[in-house]
């Protein structure tokens, strides 16, 4: 049997499970602050340490976050939901059960629509989204590499214990590593746009596992899947899935069978390795948590949340794509910053269906505006002097030739410092571009007579000398002369002499 035949005959089936730490003031079931970092065991109380007698009280904002996530992804919000206990012993889980949701999650279904790097569309449905609590953090000491194997003892920090955690489970509908990464990216962006999580993989506020199997193309049955863990960036998710697909293909090509198991991603060596087989799986003995009452989600409340969803990234993408022809890198940059995308869309909406304006506004925003913000160490969302309307005015003034690009940049700096309407400033201070041929011709004549050397250079064939002359026209006109007009008048006059 030849390897190439196998390679063509199999397709990958990928499902993603994501854990997202929710951004709330307090933890899921107690009043402790929900903050990343902090000295070990400084954000703890009787409840999140599971002291005898302590009881959980659910965080309403966390419930809201999950429902909003579901609504943003077009899911169904059932009228009832409940919390269950997932029982297993682990030293960093204080109660030795995790409060989670078993058969009545807050969110059912939903779909993540995404765009690939080449702009093509893809989508993957969700099975469910549920709410649970995070565990503490174990640090294994004495093994050198931080692994539990070979360690002499472990330290546990309970600051993270009880942090609200949202679990998103996808259907096994992804067919490539690229799609899995794009799916994750749009999921991440959705939560970023909703403001419900920091979604930082490096801080652990977004963690994901991938279920991977392969099957003959055309088959409707699933092959045995492996669950891949320990991926700490989207890049490693992509690499791990690719490597796992390859490994499974090789196993099958060699006539073997892929056992159902959990595998860990080894970033350094670029391979997955077996962690535990399915036969060692826990019986979690789920049952409804008797410390918590079932949740009733009033339709009016859900509707209220639905109306407050706002812009979601896939819609932002489509509207930006419709509005102007941006390079993929620009589009990614805009999408990645919800405040920036919202700002541009608000600007673009001031002149709907004006592609040139939209393009100019985008260029201004991604160019000079971002540069000035960076220089000032702030962000579009944190500043208030520049508004979509004033950015639009800058773009309009520059596009219509009413001011020179130099004036426009200065104007932008001013507006971003002091606020105000660029159009009014231009009018009030006479900053309008000089485009009257007679007036510019007068300055051109003046410059030609005062710059004999440059004139001679140009006439001797030094094409560059024209630039110096145009520069002089701009200087004399205090930057207001239309530079294209100045250049053409200069050429005309110098040809005549």
Partner 1 sequence: MSAPHEWSATRIAAAVNAGEISAVEVLRAQQAQIERMEPEVGAFLSLTAGLAQEQARRVDEAVAAGRRLPLAGVPLAVKDNMCLQGTVTTAGSKILAGWVAPYTATAVARLLEAGCLPVGKANLDEFAMGSSCENSALGVTRNPWDLRRVPGGSSGGSVAAVAAREAALATASDTGGSIREPAAFCGVVGMKPTYGRISRYGLIAFASSLDQIGPIARTVEDAASMYDVMAGHDPMDATSLPRPVEPTARALRDDLRGLRVGLVREFDTKGLGVEIDAVYRRAYEQLAALGAEVVEVALPHAEYGLATYYLIAPAEASSNLARFDGVRYGLRVDGGSVQEMYGKTRAAGFGPEVKRRILIGTYALSSGYYDAYYVRAQKARTLMASDFERAFAACDLIACPAASSAAFEFGAKGDDPVAMYLMDYYTIPMSLAGLPALSVPCGFAGDGLPQGRELPLGLQLVAPLYEEARLFGAAHAYEQATRFGLDRVPPVLEGVR
In the complex, the residues that contact partner 1 under the rule CB under 8 A are 46, 49-58, 85, 87, 89, 91, 94-97, 154, 156, 283, 285-287, 289-293
- Which residue number, 85 or 480, has a Cβ lying nearer to partner 1? 85
- Which residue number, 99 or 474, has a Cβ lying nearer to partner 1? 99
- Which residue number, 234 or 286, has a Cβ lying nearer to partner 1? 286
Q: What is the 3-state secondary structure (H, E, C) of 145-193?
A: CCCCCCCCEEEEECCCCCCEEEEEEECCCECCHHHHHHHHHHHHHHHHH
Are 110 and 125 in contact by the 8 Å Cβ rule? The answer is yes
d(CA 241, CA 179): 11
- Which residue number, 49 or 311, has a Cβ lying nearer to partner 1? 49
**In angstroms, what is the minimal distance from the CB of 260 to partner 1?**
17
- Which residue number, 59 or 472, has a Cβ lying nearer to partner 1? 59
d(CA 374, CA 234): 26
- Which residue number, 64 or 289, has a Cβ lying nearer to partner 1? 289
Are 473 and 485 in contact by the 8 Å Cβ rule? The answer is no
- Which residue number, 94 or 238, has a Cβ lying nearer to partner 1? 94
- Which residue number, 97 or 191, has a Cβ lying nearer to partner 1? 97
End-to-end Cα spacing for the chain: 84
**In angstroms, what is the minimal distance from the CB of 51 to partner 1?**
7
Sequence-distant (6+) residues with CB within 8 A of 120 are: none
**In angstroms, what is the minimal distance from the CB of 128 to partner 1?**
20
d(CA 94, CA 102): 20
- Which residue number, 96 or 374, has a Cβ lying nearer to partner 1? 96
DSSP 47-115: TTTT-TT------HHHHHHHHHHHHHTT-B--SEE--EEEE---TTSTTSEEEE-SSS-SEE--EEEEE
**In angstroms, what is the minimal distance from the CB of 151 to partner 1?**
11
Closest by alpha carbon to 242, among 171, 285, 181? Answer: 181
Phi and psi at residue 396, to the nearest 5° = -65, -45
- Which residue number, 218 or 290, has a Cβ lying nearer to partner 1? 290
Give the burial class of 431: count Cβ atoms within 10 A of its Cβ; 0-12 exposed, 13-18 middle, 19 or more buried.
buried
**In angstroms, what is the minimal distance from the CB of 107 to partner 1?**
21
d(CA 449, CA 346): 49
Distance of CA 485 to the CA centre of its chain: 44
Are 83 and 58 in contact by the 8 Å Cβ rule? The answer is yes
Q: In Å, what is the CA distance from 110 to each residue of 68, 70, 88, 251?
A: 12, 7, 30, 34
**In angstroms, what is the minimal distance from the CB of 20 to partner 1?**
24
- Which residue number, 91 or 381, has a Cβ lying nearer to partner 1? 91
**In angstroms, what is the minimal distance from the CB of 116 to partner 1?**
41
Closest by alpha carbon to 231, among 261, 203, 206, 265? Answer: 265
**In angstroms, what is the minimal distance from the CB of 279 to partner 1?**
14
**In angstroms, what is the minimal distance from the CB of 294 to partner 1?**
11
d(CA 321, CA 248): 38
d(CA 32, CA 27): 6
**In angstroms, what is the minimal distance from the CB of 157 to partner 1?**
12
**In angstroms, what is the minimal distance from the CB of 91 to partner 1?**
5
């Amino acid at each position: 049997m030849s390897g190439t035949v196998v390679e063509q005959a199999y397709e990958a089936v990928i499902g993603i499970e994501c854990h997202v730490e929710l951004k709330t003031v307090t933890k899921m079931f107690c009043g402790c602050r929900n903050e990343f970092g902090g000295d070990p065991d400084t954000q703890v109380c009787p409840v999140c340490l599971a002291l005898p007698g302590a009881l959980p009280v659910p965080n309403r904002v966390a419930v809201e976050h999950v429902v909003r996530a579901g609504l943003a992804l077009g899911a169904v919000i059932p009228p009832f939901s409940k919390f269950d206990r997932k029982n297993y012993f682990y030293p960093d889980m204080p109660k030795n059960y995790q409060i989670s949701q078993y058969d009545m999650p807050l969110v059912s279904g939903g779909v993540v629509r995404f765009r690939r790097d080449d702009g093509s569309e893809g989508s993957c449905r969700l099975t469910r989204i549920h709410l649970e609590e995070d565990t503490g953090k174990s640090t294994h000491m004495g093994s050198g590499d931080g692994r539990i194997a070979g360690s002499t003892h472990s330290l546990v920090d309970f600051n993270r214990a009880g942090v609200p955690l949202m679990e998103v489970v996808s259907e096994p509908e992804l067919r490539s590593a690229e799609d899995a990464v794009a799916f994750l990216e749009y999921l991440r962006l959705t939560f970023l746009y909703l403001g419900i999580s920091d979604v930082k993989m490096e801080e652990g506020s977004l963690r994901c596992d991938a279920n991977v199997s392969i099957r003959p193309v055309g088959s409707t049955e699933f092959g045995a899947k492996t669950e891949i863990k320990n991926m700490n960036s989207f890049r490693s998710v992509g690499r791990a899935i690719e490597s796992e697909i390859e490994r499974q293909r090789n196993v099958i090509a060699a006539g073997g069978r892929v056992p159902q198991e959990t595998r860990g991603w080894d970033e350094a060596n670029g391979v997955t390795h077996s962690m535990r087989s399915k036969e060692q799986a826990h019986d979690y003995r789920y049952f409804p948590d008797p410390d918590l009452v079932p949740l009733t989600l009033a339709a009016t409340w859900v509707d209220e949340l639905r109306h407050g969803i706002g812009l979601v990234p896939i819609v932002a993408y489509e509207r930006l794509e419709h509005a102007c022809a941006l390079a993929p890198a620009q589009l990614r940059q805009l999408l990645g910053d919800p405040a920036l995308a919202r700002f541009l869309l608000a600007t673009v909406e001031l002149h709907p269906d004006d592609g040139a304006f939209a393009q100019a506004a985008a260029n201004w925003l991604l160019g000079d505006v971002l540069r000035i913000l960076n220089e000032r160490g702030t962000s579009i969302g944190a500043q208030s002097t520049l508004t979509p309307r004033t950015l639009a005015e800058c773009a309009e003034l520059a596009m219509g030739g009413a001011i020179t690009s130099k004036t426009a940049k200065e104007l932008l700096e001013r507006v971003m410092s002091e606020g105000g309407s660029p159009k009014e400033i231009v009018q009030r201070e006479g900053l309008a571009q000089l485009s009257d041929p007679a007036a510019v011709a007068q300055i051109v004549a003046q410059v030609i007579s005062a710059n004999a050397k440059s004139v001679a250079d140009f006439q001797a064939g030094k094409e560059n000398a024209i630039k110096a002359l145009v520069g002089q026209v701009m200087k004399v006109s205090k930057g207001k002369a239309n530079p294209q007009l100045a250049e053409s008048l200069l050429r005309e006059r110098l040809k005549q002499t």
